[in-house]
Chain A
Amino acid sequence: MVLDIVLTPMALEAKTFNIGDKVRVTVSFKYVVGVNTAIKLFAGPYYTNIFGKHMVDSCVGQTDMSLAAASSPTSGGTTIDFILVPKANGGIDNGTYGLRVWIEGTNALVEQDAIIIVSGNPSGSGLTDMFSAMMPMLMMVMMLGMVAPMMQGMGSEETEETE
């Protein structure tokens, strides 16, 4: 038996956006449901690190949609908007992100890595980030600098008493 299989790419192409842009995601699906039902759809960017995938919560958008009762598979679709909130406002940093869309309360979820390229955050914000990341270490070094002379002083007092 010989079976011919043709593979075709289904991936979306990466697009570049600026901070503050509104992104509109269009989705389609088929559904069956016994009664008229309202659903909530969410969409937003996510980043990936060694701990897995993480949504950029401040940029997640949502939309409500009504599904009419249908006992046979019925086509549905809608759009979900989300805004790329600047990093300075607790939003998204410059970089490349994935896009995830899901429907609350169902197992419907679709995502694709590395298709949202974000730019436009002020370059200074990177320096600020680096400084804030180093702050705890700097604090420890400063405290060590203050405590070390005190420890030395205590050590010399004990020596005097012994004598």
Chain B
Amino acid sequence: MKSKTLALDLGEFVVLQEETIRPMQEPLVAGWYVDPGTGQKIYYDPTTRNFYTMAGGVYIPLGYMNPAPKQVTLAPGDNLRITVSFKYTGPAITGACIRYCVGVYGTFGFTEQMVAIESFNIPQVVSPPSSPNVTNYHTFVIPTNVGTDWDDIYVKMYGGTPSLGSESIPSYIFGYENALVIVGTQPNITQFTITDFAKV
């Protein structure tokens, strides 16, 4: 048995320069703009104060997907409950909708594989709550044909009277990347080793 030493040289550590971080100025007028960094055309909506890109005829907000704070392992037949909660202050709303989606988030947007829409009402709230006062959820049953890449989720909230916003340009949308670990119908084998072989 032999010991080997690996020495790592991490080089110099430098402080990030503050002047390299320039705050982005929000435009004031609704319309299409060009991102100077990427050349991508983006749409700005001053009402929602969100930037959008367009894919498949649908406006998709930029930066609505976030790293998942945790991962949930699921197999076909398992139930996945996605719960949404938020603080609300304002008039009573009836018939608002939340769209729950599980699918694949990639370069060309979110490919929805499982979709559910829950309708709900919000009572009038006059004073800002100290903790989330509206909660809604949906439970998906993972199908047998689930893909192992169905690991992203997002929800968006829209509609109602008075309206929370349109479905195509939602004001309230939020998602998690790599939130799910799907255990599919094909076995995933690891640590495969021959432990012994002998004449019998």
- Which residues does A use to contact B, with CB under 8 Å? 1-8, 12, 15, 17, 21-35, 37, 39, 67, 69-73, 77, 81, 99, 101, 103, 105-110, 112, 115-116
Contact = CB atoms under 8 A, between A and B. Distances in A.
Interface of B: 1-8, 10, 73-78, 144, 146, 182-200
Those 4 A-B pairs whose CB atoms lie nearest each other, nearest first: A34-B75, A108-B189, A33-B187, A29-B192
A12 B197 contact: yes
User: Which of B6, B185, B187, B188 has most A Cβ within 10 Å?
Assistant: B187
A25 B200 contact: no
A35 B194 contact: no
- Main DSSP-derived SS at the B contact region: strand
A23 B198 contact: yes
Contacts of A17: 199
B194 A26 contact: yes
A25 B77 CA distance: 35
Contact of A71 (B8, B144, B183): B183
- Main DSSP-derived SS at the A contact region: strand
A32 B183 contact: yes
B197 A3 contact: no
B194 A112 contact: yes
A26 B189 contact: no
Given A24-B197, A35-B76, A35-B144, A29 B3 contact: no
Given A30-B190, A108-B192, A35 B197 contact: no
Nearest to A116: B197
Contacts of A15: 197-199
Nearest to A84: B199
8 contacts: A5-B4, A12-B197, A25-B194, A31-B187, A32-B187, A32-B188, A33-B186, A35-B75
B6 to A, nearest CB: 5
Contacts of A8: 1
A78 to B, nearest CB: 11
Contact of A67 (B5, B76, B187): B187
Given A6-B2, A28-B193, A34-B185, 7 more contacts: A12-B194, A24-B198, A25-B194, A28-B191, A33-B184, A35-B77, A81-B200
B200 A24 contact: yes
Contact of B189 (A1, A23, A106): A106
Contacts of B184: 33-34
B187 A106 contact: yes
Contact of B199 (A3, A23, A29, A107): A23
